[in-house]
Amino acid sequence: MKSPYSRYARRTPASGVGYTPDCDPYSPTSSSYSSGSTLKKRNPLSVAAKSMAGVFVACFTPPEPEPNNSKDFGYSEELKAPSVASSTSGGNERRRSSRRGIYSGPANSFHGREPGSVNFTMEEIYAATRNFSPTFKIGQGGFGTVYKGRFQDGTVVAIKRAKKSVYDKHLGVEFQSEIRTLAQVEHLNLVKFYGYLEHEDERIVLVEYVANGTLREHLDCIHGNVIDLAVRLDIAIDVAHAITYLHMYTDHPIIHRDIKSSNILLTENFRAKVADFGFARLAADSDSGATHVSTQVKGTAGYLDPEYLRTYQLTEKSDVYSFGVLLVELVTGRRPIEAKREIKERITAKWAIKKFAEGNAILILDPKLKCTAANNLALEKILELAMQCLAPHRQSRPSMRKCAEILWSIRKDYKEQSASDFRSLSSKSQGSISVITEE
């Protein structure tokens, strides 16, 4: 049997080889950061066949178990979801609209449901959210309201309910764009897609529930703890892996277009998962000679690539620019635009890069982080990478893959320097103990 991940082998680069997903950090399920990938040739026929098999093939891994969820959103056992409507679809049916939603996932995530079969209903969504009760609401975004829901089989999901304006032509297109994109991707560092439902005026997207809030919330310390630089580096690497995967490993390159800290969700172990494909856009097909997609500018102020803003030409390098903004955000803790600060500090990236260029990088370190040798060293290296990502012209920016590789090396040096900081600190404290003893 073929690996369900073989469709994610790297698209043929100049050398005509692809990465074996098993040991590749960009592969959908790898949690390894080892760069020692084996290379293997990609079979174009198998790729084509898999593409034709459709985007709703079972390629989504089951959700992580959620031990506490019945308590933390007030799930009451008496309020049982109505019984699951029996499947009416044959095994080959991939998509349905109207009352029933499409579902993409393995049978054991929503118990007994075959991948691609149409098995969740509006009644189940109502039951899972207690009729969209405010108690179950976990967020609000441009797309609509987000609820945490629990299905009868215990599966916990995030339920994104489009707001009414989604029926405007423009937002309708956006909705379809999110669905198409979500259905094609699978990676450990991307929020998993479970399915969607169209029912009368409702448009519902079901995605993996990620329990620990957004990166922005953690940088603002609203969960009560400071995430240290080691964790921030891990998050940057997770995000770099996710975007590299979108740019290089899907059947067709995907540009996320809305990389920002509020779209980075964190698990309880502080693994990052990139969310919100509302603006995602398939990139230009380089095989056809195209270098960019011309499109209406979309994204979030502060993260937008100035070259894309000026020319309307979208490439993968627009995500690289946004990633540069995110790197600055990670080390400074500040938002990309800080409207209340004095003018020269309002655009955080500009301010940080200026300080770095003047040799004063230390002044921009998030005041919540300790000023250790390891932190200072990593800060300078991260800023250097951010500066490359923020280059005004896209040709000068590194690829996301290159960013990930640079970050791996920064993390390696950071660990070594931290160990040495720790050794010198403990030898100093031993010294001071002996002084106290002598006294």
Ligand X SMILES: Nc1ncnc2c1ncn2[C@@H]1O[C@H](COP(=O)(O)OP(=O)(O)OP(=O)(O)O)[C@@H](O)[C@H]1O
Q: Considering the rule CB under 6 A, would residue 239 count as an interface residue with ligand X?
A: no
Report the DSSP pairing between strands 39-40 and 272-274: unpaired
Report the DSSP pairing between strands 293-294 and 264-266: unpaired
Minimum distance from CB of 350 to ligand X (Å)?
Answer: 23
Residue 153 appears among annotated catalytic residues: no
Q: Considering the rule CB under 6 A, would residue 410 count as an interface residue with ligand X?
A: no
Tell me the residue ranges of DSSP E strands in 295-416.
313-314
Distances (CA, A) of 16 to 11, 49, 249, 271, 305: 8, 19, 14, 32, 31
Q: Considering the rule CB under 6 A, would residue 191 count as an interface residue with ligand X?
A: yes
Of 217 and 413, which CB lies nearer to ligand X in the complex structure? 217
Minimum distance from CB of 175 to ligand X (Å)?
Answer: 12
* Rounded distance between C-alpha atoms, residue 210 and residue 214, angstroms: 9
**From the candidates 258, 276, 319, 366, which is the catalytic residue?**
258
Per the annotation, does 192 bind a ligand? no
**Does residue 178 contact residue 280 with C-beta atoms inside 8 Å?**
yes
Distances (CA, A) of 102 to 94, 111, 212: 7, 15, 27
Q: Considering the rule CB under 6 A, would residue 209 count as an interface residue with ligand X?
A: yes
x/- binding map, residues 326-365, to ligand X, per CB under 6 A?
----------------------------------------
Among 19, 60, 103, 143, indicate the residue that binds ligand X (CB under 6 A): 143
Q: Considering the rule CB under 6 A, would residue 302 count as an interface residue with ligand X?
A: no
Residues 214-233 that bind ligand X (CB under 6 A): 214
Total residues at interface with ligand X (CB under 6 A):
22
**Does residue 119 contact residue 110 with C-beta atoms inside 8 Å?**
yes
Which residues, listed in sequence order, are joined to residue 145 by a DSSP beta bridge?
Answer: 140, 161
Residues 246-275 that bind ligand X (CB under 6 A): 258, 262-263, 265, 275
Q: Considering the rule CB under 6 A, would residue 125 count as an interface residue with ligand X?
A: no
* Rounded distance between C-alpha atoms, residue 232 and residue 400, angstroms: 17
**Does residue 182 contact residue 193 with C-beta atoms inside 8 Å?**
yes
Place of tokens 């509020």: 262
Which are the catalytic amino acids? 258
The residues that touch ligand X, with contacts defined as CB under 6 A, are 138-143, 146, 158, 160, 191, 207-210, 214, 258, 262-263, 265, 275-276, 278
